[in-house]
Structure 1
Amino acid sequence: MKKILLLAAAAFFAFGGYAQTKVRNGLYYVVSFPNAAHHEAEITVTVPEIPENGPLRMRMSRSSPGRYATHEFGKNIYNVKAFDLSGKELDIKQVEGDVYEVAQHGTVVKISYTLFGNHTDGTYASIDASHAHLNMPAAFMWAVNKDIVSRQIKFEFNDLDKYGWKVATQLKHEGDNVYSAPDLQYMMDSPIELSNVKTNYWEVVNTNGKKQKVGIAVHSDDDQATIDNFAQMVKKLVLEEKAVFGEQPDYDYGTYTFLDDVHPTNFGDGMEHRNSTSIVDGSQKVAGNEKDLLGTYSHEYFHSWNVERIRPKSLEPFNFEHANMSNELWFAEGFTQYYGEMLLVRSGFNTVDDYTRTLGGLVNSVLAPPAPAKYPPTQMSRYAVFTDAGVAVDATNYTNIFTSYYVYGGATALALDLRLRSEFKITLDDYMRQVWLTYGKPGKPYTIPNLQEVLGKVTNPKFAASFFADYIYGVKKNNYEALLANAGFLLQKAAPGKAWLGRIPGKASNGGLLITGSTSSNSPAYKAGLDAGDTILQIDGKDVKDASSINDIIKDKKSGDKVSVSYKNRTGSHEGSIILEESPSVQVTTFEKTGKELTQQQKDFRSSWLSSKVK
Structure 2
Amino acid sequence: MLGMRRSFADELANYTSNLDKKRRYSCFRMKKNARLLYLLTVWTFFIPFFSIASSRLADDETPAAASPSVTYVLSMPEPQTHYFEVEMQLKNMATATNAKKNGYIDIKMPVWTPGSYLIREYARNVQGFTATTGGKPLKSEKISKNTWRITTPASTDDNLTIRYRVYANELTVRTSFVDADHGYVTPASMFMYHDALRNIPLRVVVQPYKTWKNVATALEPVAGQTFTYEATDFDLLVDSPIEIGNHHTFTFTASNVPHSVAMFGEVDYDEKRLAADYKRVCEAAATVIGEHPCKHYTFIVHHIPSGGGGLEHLNSTTLETSRNAYATEANYKGFLTLVAHEYFHLWNVKRIRPVALGPFNYEAENYTHMLWLSEGGTSFYEDYILRRAGFHTPETYLNIVGIDITNIENQPGSRVQSAAESSWDAWIKEYRPNENSANTTISYYSKGSVLGTLLNLAILAGSNGERSLDDLMRFLYAEYYKKQKRGFADEEFRQAAEQIAGRSLDDFFTIGVNSAEPINYNTYFEPVGLRLVNVAGKTQDGFLGAATTVSNGKATIASVRRGSGAYTGGLNVGDEIISVDSVRVGDDLLRLIGGRRAGETIKVLVNRGGFLREIPVTLTQNPLASYRLEPLPNVSPAQKALYNKWLFIK
| Same fold, judged at TM 0.5 (above) | yes
**Aligned partner (choices 254, 265, 269) of residue 220 of structure 1:** 265
Conservation of the 8 A alpha-carbon contact between 1:200 and 1:216? yes
1:441 corresponds to which of 471, 479, 482:
482
1:432 corresponds to which residue?
473
Q: Measure the CA separation in 2 of the matches of 1:505 and 1:212.
A: 49
- Does the Cα contact within 8 Å between 2:462 and 2:502 map onto a contact in 1? no
What's the offset of the Cα at 1:455? Answer: 1.4
Distance in 1 (alpha carbons) for counterparts of 2:119 and 2:174: 11
Matched with 1:257 is 298
Q: Deviations over 1:336-369 (max 9, x none)?
A: 1011122222212233454355323321233221
Question: Conserved in 2, the CA contact under 8 Å of 1:415 and 1:478?
Answer: no
Amino acid at match of 1:97: K
For residue 134 of structure 1, what is the aligned residue in structure 2? 185
Structure 2 vs 1, CA of residues 577 and 466 (structure 1 numbering), >3 Å: closer, same or farther?
A: closer
Shift of the 233–432 alpha-carbon distance from structure 1 to 2, 3 Å rule, reads same
Q: What do residues 381-435 of structure 1 show as CA deviations (whole Å, max 9, x unaligned)?
A: 1121024445x8xx56312211110001111112222333345423222332223
Deviation at 1:285, TM superposition (A): 6.3
> 1:274 and 2:314 equivalent?
yes
Change (3 A) 1:400 1:29: same
> 1:464 — aligned with what?
505
How far off its partner does 1:510 sit? 12
Q: How far apart in 2 are the matches of 1:316 and 1:566?
A: 53
Q: 2:136 aligns with which of 79, 82, 88?
A: 88
Distance 1:605 1:142, change over 3 A: same
Q: Structure 2 vs 1, CA of residues 373 and 62 (structure 1 numbering), >3 Å: closer, same or farther? A: same
Change over 3 Å in CA distance of 1:286–1:219 after alignment to 2: farther
For the Cα contact (< 8 Å) 1:200–1:228, is it kept in 2? no
Distance 2:253 2:556 in 1: 58
Separation in 1 of the partners of 2:621 and 2:248? 54
**SS in structure 1 of the partner of residue 100 of structure 2:** coil
Which residue of structure 1 lines up, in the alignment, with residue 644 of structure 2? 607
Superposition pairs of residues 293-372 of structure 1, within 5 angstroms:
293-372=335-414
Q: Write the distance in 2 (CA, Å) between the matches of 1:308 and 1:612.
A: 30
Counterpart of 1:75? 124
Which 10-residue stretch deviates more, 331-340 or 417-426? Answer: 417-426
Residues 420/69 of structure 1: CA separation in 2 closer, same or farther (3 Å cut): same
* Paired letter, 1:81: T
CA 1:35–1:467: 2 relative to 1, 3 Å? same
Distance 1:498 1:126, change over 3 A: farther
**Aligned-pair Cα RMSD in Å:** 3.0
**3-state DSSP of counterpart to 1:582:** coil
Please tell me whether the aligned partners of residues 136 and 189 of structure 1 are also in contact (alpha carbons under 8 angstroms): yes
Q: Using a 3 Å threshold, how does the CA distance of structure 1 residues 509 and 228 change in structure 2: closer, same or farther?
A: closer
Selected match of 2:85 from 31, 36, 42: 42
In 2: Cα distance, 1:544 partner to 1:587 partner: 36
Q: CA deviation at 1:535?
A: 4.5
Cα deviation for residue 269 of structure 1 reads: 2.0
Which digits, 9 at most, give the CA deviation of each residue in 1:155-176, with x for residues without a partner? 111136x223322112111132
Whether the aligned pair in 2 keeps the contact of 1:221 and 1:285 (CA below 8 Å) is no
| Letter of the structure 2 residue corresponding to residue 38 of structure 1 | T
Would the alpha carbon gap of residues 576 and 502 (structure 1) be closer, same or farther in structure 2, given more than 3 Å must change? closer
- In the other structure, the counterpart of 1:150 is 199
Q: 2:534 aligns with which of 482, 492, 505?
A: 492
Give the C-alpha shift of residue 500 in structure 1.
5.0
Paired with 1:168 and 1:61, the residues of 2 have a C-alpha distance of: 23
Match of 1:108 among 140, 159, 162: 159
The amino acid of 2:464's aligned partner reads K
One-letter code aligned to 1:156: V
Letter in 2 for 1:45: M
C-alpha distance after superposition, 1:467-506 (max 9, x if no partner): 2122212223333356456455753243323535254243
Q: CA offsets, 1:240-292, max 9 Å, x none? A: 111222222x22xx11222222232x752200011111112232565655323
Task: Give the equivalent residue in structure 2 for 1:31.
Answer: 74
Distance in 2 separating the partners of 1:61 and 1:490: 46
Amino acid at match of 1:564: I
CA distance in 1, matches of 2:343, 2:628: 27
Identity level (%): 24
Partner of 1:58: 107
Given candidates 613, 616, 636, the residue that maps to 1:573 is: 613
Closer, same or farther in 2 for the Cα pair 1:365/1:436, shift >3 Å? farther
Amino acid at match of 1:474: S
- Cα distance 1:196–1:484, how it changes in 2: closer, same or farther (>3 A)? farther
**Which secondary structure does the structure 2 equivalent of 1:313 belong to?**
coil
Structure 1 residue aligned with 2:22 = none
Relative CO higher for 1 or 2, CA cutoff 8 Å, sep ≥ 6? Answer: 1
Question: Does structure 2 retain, via aligned residues, the 8 Å contact 1:453–1:464?
Answer: no
Deviations 1:85-125 (A, max 9, x none): 2x222222122333222113522221111222122221001
Partner of 1:9: none
Residue type of the partner of 1:583? P
Is the 2:341–2:382 Cα contact (8 Å) retained in structure 1?
yes
Deviates more, 1:116-125 or 1:473-482: 473-482
Distance 2:531 2:170 in 1: 42
Q: CA 1:190–1:451 in 2, change beyond 3 Å: closer, same or farther?
A: same
- How far apart are the structure 2 equivalents of 1:500 and 1:188? 53
Query: Counterparts of 1:332 and 1:120 in 2: how far apart (Å)?
Result: 25
Change (3 A) 1:500 1:227: farther
Contact 2:201–2:230 under 8 Å retained in 1: yes
Distance 1:603 1:489 in 2: 13
CA separation in 2, counterparts of 1:125 and 1:78? Answer: 15
Distance 1:514 1:267, change over 3 A: closer
The equivalent of 1:454 in structure 2 is 496
Residue 420 (1) aligns with residue 459 (2)? yes
Q: Which runs of 5+ in 2 are unaligned?
A: 1-65
Contact 1:222–1:287 (CA<8 Å) still a contact in 2? no
Greater mean alpha carbon deviation, residues 569-578 or residues 47-56:
569-578
Partner of 2:602: 564
Among 569, 575, 579, the residue aligned to 1:528: 569
SS at match of 2:171: coil
Max Rg structure:
2
Give secondary structure in 2 for the equivalent of 1:315: coil
The verdict on how the C-alpha distance between 1:534 and 1:132 changes in structure 2, with shifts beyond 3 A counting, is closer
SS in 1 for 2:480: helix
Q: How does 1:532-547 map to 2 (within 5 A)?
A: 532-539=573-580, 541=581, 543=583, 545-546=585-586
